[in-house]
Chain A
Amino acid sequence: MSDETTATDRANEEAGTSTDAVVLTGAEIVCECLLREGVDIVFGYPGGAILPTYDALTKYPQLHHVLTRHEQGASHMADGYARATGKVGVAMATSGPGATNLVTGIATAMMDSSPIVCITGQVPTGAIGSDAFQETDVTGITLPITKHNYLVTSIEELPEVMREAFHIARTGRPGPVLVDIPKDVQIQEAEFVYPTEPIELAGYSPPRAARARQVDAALELIRTSKRPIILAGHGISMAGANRELAQLAEKAQIPIALTLLGKGAISEHHPLCLGMMGMHGGAEVNHAIQQADLLIALGMRFDDRVTGNLATYARDSRKIHVDIDPSEINKNVNVDVGIVGDLGEVLRQLLKRVERRPNEAWFDRIAEWRADSELREIVRPADAPQHPAVPEGKLLGAQVIRDLFEFTDGEAITVTDVGQHQMWEAQYYHHERPHSLITSGGLGTMGFGLPAAIGAKMSRPDQEVWAIVGDGGFQMTMMELATAVQEQVNVHIAIINNGFLGMVRQWQEFFYEERYNQTPMVNPDFCKLAEAYGIPTVRVTERGQIEEAVNASRAQTGGPTLIDFVVEKEEIVFPMVPAGADLDDMIRRPTPEEFEQQRRERAVAAKAPEPQTPESTPPETEAPAAPAALGSRFGV
């Protein structure tokens, strides 16, 4: 730092000696508070009502500001930054359109409990309510999609509000907090005293340990169960309870199923880890849940994508649900024992007294289901005998993810967008560590991938970061390529490019009689596009090219890289539980034997003689509903 005394220095000198304080502007107070909350990066976009704060940022070189190309990118980057480390991510925007552009990112963070703080400029206090230029009621707009929000009406409350905002964002069940600061409050001056006493909010005290009686009840259910299964969610990694989860599973010999955001809760190579549950989860995992006699749900929220039909969900099981948010208990699924608390604390309480119990018969049943799933597996090593459903000479999206997993040694942080590629990631990229998969699970936000990956890489520069995106979602936020170049963020972008909104197309194929309305896409040449930004690119059209392309990308250590994987257009994510169906009522890929049998039957049907009495041919009926109509490709 230079010889000049910055406002920070002055404030730091005063820190601790709260009796005589320095006089700072509201904008400087915002910066001081950010520093004290440990913020090093702010993602944002300037504009009229936030200009005083942008001006103050010039005095705080320790706060690195990342200029995004759209405010949505700023909120997703803050989210990706937060998810990669658990630190609070910060996004900044001006009033009006700047603030409303943050909304999708805020809602995404809310649904997935990601700690971000959004700071927005607001028109001066005197103009609020007058429909002033670029005025919008952003605290009103974000009321249902923030954990809490503030409209700061005086400079005196600013330090406290900032401190509370970070506290609320990062503690308990984390979530987004928005602080709206009118322009005049940013300009006013006041003595800056950073409060030092612990924060006490009467209406906010996150729970810690479980009550002894609940622990007893849970232990009794575990002791008497024969077919127990742990359902591990995002809460495990957010609570840092990964070791405790593994210990509990090992000690009591209980298999673990993961939610999408639960990936990373335990190593997917752990013998007790079954893999992902739910709509596109493993068939063996869903069967195990449906046949279990005890569900132990840890930091997950029984989303409709993991339960399927609630009326038939795990009907024969008792249920234990541990969550830090009391409102999650008995929300979707009624449970026998509901425990509100911090997962680390509660698991330690359980671990003290849980008993080892033999579950061999249960593991044998799961192994049978798994063997059946393996028969149907379509992604196999290139030199192994292939499933007959693999089309000749086509590159499959699933293969790309499987190979990417292999060639990155399973060590990368992967950030996905939303759709088929997201589900293939979940199925074929096996994560070892917490916080290594970043994906929009709850809101399912297309356009999340690229900006969140940029945020993640800036948060964890030591880690290899891959943005795995579809051609649809990529085009929603691809302007952030410029941000990645400007900031020289070394994020590797893999576009799984099938020229379709693939997941929507899959639903149209299954449930809308193959009417592919508005799902085919005319795309730009993504390589040329990226090259216009100066980004090195490779196009891959065959499986044999994947390794070289991935290695070439990894060798680039400067800015971003991009690989355009041109994949089979009409691939399907198997298995699939149709929305609202029973969890074990899955659409499966056939086994090789079933597939050959179906192929023979189709061949026989094609050769069958024409009906002799055309007059009596019944009029063509409605095409049969899926899945009967799925015959042609990839089986089923």
Chain B
Amino acid sequence: MAKHILAALVENRPGVLARVANLFRRRSFNIDSLSVGRTQRDEMSRMTIVMESDSAEADRLVKNLYKLVDVVHVDHLHSQPSVVREMALVKVKASSDNRREVIQLCDIFRARIIDVSAESLVVEITGEEEKLENFTELVRPFGIVEMVRTGMIALGRGGHTLKDEGFKPNRSRAAARRNVL
């Protein structure tokens, strides 16, 4: 068992997310996180899928993703040098008594404070998964009011990119395309 990071280029069409999500359930894949967003090309979205599994299972997921007509390219970033990041917003209890300590922790982790109120702070922290885990553990004693994580996103380093050269957006379909995932 290891962490596998897959990156998928998909057509930015209604229902694509539903197709991918359905695949996870239909074939019993256990997904740690999935994040989706548009790319530099309007007609393409990119998904980053993280799963804890053996490599046979990850291979099975890659093959099944390819069966979806809207999936253009899938890469197993596990086997490539890549940069991986995740962002979390954490609302931490902080009164005038202990605000200083929380701010110090944020400095150490290079996290940014983006909102302050009498009772709490909202902290934005970006990094690899372990860093986020460590940070949340350390602020937990102060009291985490709520938090949200983006899920991991990843890019191959240097010249390694997901192939999309073959992809030509279709004119009438592009006209009908909506920004609905």
A contact residues vs B (CB 8 Å cutoff): 139-140, 143-144, 147-148, 151, 153-154, 156-157, 160, 168, 200-204, 325-327, 329-331
Give the distance in Å from the alpha carbon of A326 to the alpha carbon of B70 in the complex.
17
Q: Are B173 and A202 in contact (CB under 8 A)?
A: no
Report yes or no: B164 in contact with A143, Cβ–Cβ below 8 A.
no
Chain B residues with a Cβ under 8 A of chain A? 10-11, 14-15, 18-19, 22, 26, 56, 59-60, 63-64, 66-73, 164, 166-168, 170, 172-173, 175-176, 178
- Inter-subunit contact B168/A202 (CB<8 Å): yes
Contact A143–B67 (Cβ < 8 Å): no
Interface centre among A147, A200, A327 (most CB of B within 10 A): A327
Q: A143 contacts B22, CB within 8 Å? A: yes
**Complex: how many Å from CA A50 to CA B169?**
30
- Judging by beta carbons under 8 Å apart, are B176 and A156 in contact? yes
What are 24 contact pairs spanning A and B, CB under 8 A?
Answer: A140-B18, A143-B18, A143-B19, A151-B14, A151-B15, A153-B14, A153-B178, A154-B176, A156-B175, A156-B176, A157-B173, A157-B176, A160-B172, A200-B168, A201-B69, A202-B11, A202-B164, A202-B168, A203-B71, A203-B73, A326-B63, A327-B64, A327-B67, A330-B59
Question: A153 contacts which chain B residues (CB < 8 A)?
Answer: 14, 176, 178
Report A101 CB to chain B, min CB distance, Å: 22
Tell me the complex Cα distance, A380–B72, Å. Answer: 57
B60/A168 in contact, CB under 8 A: no
Q: A143-B22, A203-B69 are in contact. Are A156 and B172 (CB under 8 A)?
A: yes
Asked if B170 and A160 make an inter-chain contact with CB atoms under 8 angstroms apart, the answer reads: yes
Closest A residue to B27 by CB, please name it: A327
A168 CA / B164 CA spacing, docked (Å): 21
Q: How far is the CB of A404 from chain B (nearest CB, A)?
A: 39
| 8 smallest beta-carbon distances between A and B, as pairs | A202-B167, A327-B63, A156-B172, A202-B72, A154-B176, A203-B72, A148-B69, A157-B176
Which among A139, A201, A330 is the interface contact of B15 at CB below 8 angstroms? A139
Interface contact A327-B172, CB-CB below 8 Å = no
A357 to B131, CA, bound (A): 62
Contact between chains at B70 and A203 (CB < 8 Å): yes
How far is it, in angstroms, between the C-alpha of A168 and the C-alpha of B11 when the chains are bound? Answer: 16
Apart from A144-B22, A156-B175, A203-B11: 9 A-B pairs, beta carbons within 8 A = A140-B18, A144-B26, A147-B69, A151-B15, A156-B176, A157-B175, A202-B164, A203-B70, A327-B66
Give the one of B22, B66, B73, B176 with max A CB within 10 A.
B176
Residues of A within 8 A of B15 (CB): 139, 151
Contacts of A202 in B (CB 8 A): 11, 72, 164, 166-168
Which residues in A have their C-beta under 8 angstroms from that of B14? 151, 153
Chain B neighbourhood of A201, CB < 8 A:
69
Residue of A nearest to B61 (CB): A327
The verdict on A327 contacting B60 (CB below 8 Å), with A144-B22, A153-B176, A202-B164 known, is yes
CB neighbours (8 Å) of A148 from chain B are 69
Chain A residues, CB < 8 A from B164: 202
> Given the complex of chains A and B, what is the CA–CA distance between A588 and B165 in angstroms?
59
Determine the chain B residues whose CB is within 8 A of the CB of A325 once the complex forms.
67
Point out the residues of chain A lying under 8 angstroms from B63, CB to CB: 326-327, 329
Q: Output the least CB separation between B2 and chain A (Å).
A: 18
Please report the C-alpha to C-alpha distance between residue A144 and residue B71 in the assembled complex, in whole angstroms.
15
A514 → chain B closest CB, angstroms: 36
Alpha-carbon separation in the docked complex, A160 to B169 (Å) = 13
A146 CB to nearest chain B CB (Å): 10
CA distance A151 to B10 in the complex (A): 18
Contacts of B168 in A (CB 8 A): 200, 202
List, in ascending order, chain A residues with CB within 8 A of B166's CB. Answer: 200, 202
Q: Within the assembled complex, what's the spacing in Å between the Cα atoms of A151 and B173?
A: 12
Question: A329: which B residues are within 8 A, CB to CB?
Answer: 63
CB distance from A450 to the nearest CB of B (A): 30
Give CA–CA (A168, B70) in the complex, Å.
Answer: 12
> How long is the Cα–Cα vector from A160 to B19 in the complex, in angstroms?
21
- Partner of A168 from the list B56, B69, B170 (CB cut-off 8 Å) is B69
Check B69 against A330 for contact (C-beta < 8 Å): no
> How far in angstroms is the closest Cβ of chain A from B162?
12
- Contact present for A203 and B59 (CB under 8 Å): no
Residues of A within 8 A of B73 (CB): 203
Contact: B60 with A331, CB < 8 Å?
A: yes
Neighbouring A residues of B167 by C-beta, 8 Å: 202
